Amino acid sequence: MRYAFQVHYIGKNYSGSQIQFENGRLRENPTIQSELEKAISTLIGGKPADEYIRQYKTVFSGRTDKGVNSKGQVVHFDCEQMIVASDFVYHLNEILPCDISICDFKEVDSSFHAQKSAKMRYYRYEFVNRKYKDAYDGDLMRVKYEIDLDRMQKSLDYLIGEHDFTSFKSSGTLNPGTVCFIKSAQCQKCGDRVVIDIAGNRFLYNMVRTIVGTLLEIEGHNRTSEYMKEVLEAKDRRCAGMCVSPYGLTLMKVEY
C-alpha cells in the first residue's frame, strides 16, 4: 500500500530536505527526510533511531535547501501494513522533533508519485523592509531601502509563462533542464514585510532566491523593471542578482 501526507517544517536546523550521501554512505547531517524515516521506522517497525537503516524510504515532492521551510511539502512511502490515519499522525508527531510535523495522511493509488505526479508548486519569499532591526524579525532578511512595489510587480510580470530560466539557475545541479512554466508571480506589502508568491510547474536550483536577488538588484540600483526581461533573455547567471538568504523561503503548496 502507498500512503501520502503533508510535512510542515522549519528548515534552519537541517541540511535541507533530502537525505545526503557521501562516498556511498549516509551522511550524519540531519535532514527532514532522515528525521521522517527514522520516526516512521520507529513507529511502524519498532526500530529505535540508533538502528536506523532506511526501513521505510520516503519520496518528496521536491528538494528544499538548508534553511528553507515548508507548509505544504508532500511525501509518499510504501508499507505492507494497514495504517490508521488518525493514530499514525498523532504518534508520528509525538516522535518527530518539535520543528517537524505531518498532517493530511491518506492512502493513495500505487500510481501516485509525490514528485512525478506534481503539476504545480507554490513558493513564498518574505523579507523585512525597514531601516532598523526588530527583535522579532527572526532570521528574515532585512532590506533597509524603500521598495517600489509597483516596479517590483512589473518586474515579476516578465517571468510569467514558459521561459528558459538559465539566468536564475545556480551551479551544483545535475538536471540539465532549464525551461519552466511560471503560472503566477505576485508581490504585496503587509506592514513592513514584503511577500513574494511564485507558482510554477518546476523550479531550478536556487531559482526563487535568485529571482528575489534580481528584484533587489533592480530596487537597490533604481533600475527599470525591463531589467528583469534583459536578465531572463540573457540566459547567463552572471547577469542576475545574488542568491538571497534561504530564511524567508517557504514551500507553501504542491498541486496534483
What are the mean pLDDT values of the chain's consecutive 10-residue runs (256 residues total)?
96 90 69 93 72 77 94 95 93 96 96 97 98 94 96 98 95 78 97 97 95 97 96 96 96 97
Residue 208, pLDDT score: 97
**Domain end call among 57, 88, 108:** 108
Under a CB-based contact definition with an 8 Å cutoff, are residues 241 and 214 in contact? yes
pTM: 0.91
C-alpha angle 48/49/53, rounded to 5°?
Answer: 100
Residue 158, pLDDT score: 98
Residues 9 and 86 in one domain: yes
Residues 75 and 28 in one domain: yes
Q: Is 65 a catalytic residue?
A: yes
Residue 228, pLDDT score: 98
* Residue 72 is assigned to a structural domain of this protein: yes
Residue 22, pLDDT score: 64
Under a CB-based contact definition with an 8 Å cutoff, are residues 93 and 102 in contact? yes
* Residue 213 is assigned to a structural domain of this protein: yes
**Domain end call among 108, 138, 157:** 108
Closest CA to 206 of 115, 123, 99: 123
102 phi and psi angles, rounded to 5 deg? -125, 160
* Residue 61 is assigned to a structural domain of this protein: yes
Under a CB-based contact definition with an 8 Å cutoff, are residues 241 and 213 in contact? yes
Catalytic residue among 50, 65, 99, 109: 65
Residues 153 and 242 in one domain: yes
The cell for 197 is 508568491
* Residue 113 is assigned to a structural domain of this protein: no
Residue 7, pLDDT score: 98
Residues 124 and 249 in one domain: yes
Q: What is the CATH number of the domain that holds 131?
A: 3.30.70.660
Residue 50, pLDDT score: 52
Distance, first Cα to last Cα, the chain: 19
Residue 249, pLDDT score: 98
Residues 40 and 141 in one domain: no
Residues 22 and 133 in one domain: no
Amino acid at 214: T
* Residue 115 is assigned to a structural domain of this protein: no
Q: What is the CATH number of the domain that holds 27?
A: 3.30.70.580
Residues 58 and 29 in one domain: yes
As for how many domains the chain has, the answer is: 2
Residue 172, pLDDT score: 65
Which domain, by its residues, includes 76?
2-108
Residues 138 and 165 in one domain: yes
Which residues have a Cβ under 8 Å from the Cβ of 201 and sit 6 or more positions away?
A: 119, 120, 121, 180, 181, 183
* Residue 177 is assigned to a structural domain of this protein: yes
Residues 13 and 94 in one domain: yes
CA dist., res. 189 & res. 196, Å (int)? 9
Judged by phi (left if over 0) then psi (alpha if -120 to 50, else beta), residue 191 lies in: left
* Residue 171 is assigned to a structural domain of this protein: yes
Residue 53, pLDDT score: 56
Residues 56 and 142 in one domain: no
**Domain end call among 53, 81, 108:** 108
Under a CB-based contact definition with an 8 Å cutoff, are residues 5 and 102 in contact? yes
- Determine the distance from the C-alpha atom of residue 186 to the mean position of all C-alpha atoms in its chain, rounded to a whole number: 17
Residues 94 and 190 in one domain: no
Strand pairing report for 142-143 and 120-129: parallel
* Residue 54 is assigned to a structural domain of this protein: yes
Strand pairing report for 249-255 and 69-78: parallel
Residues 20 and 49 in one domain: yes
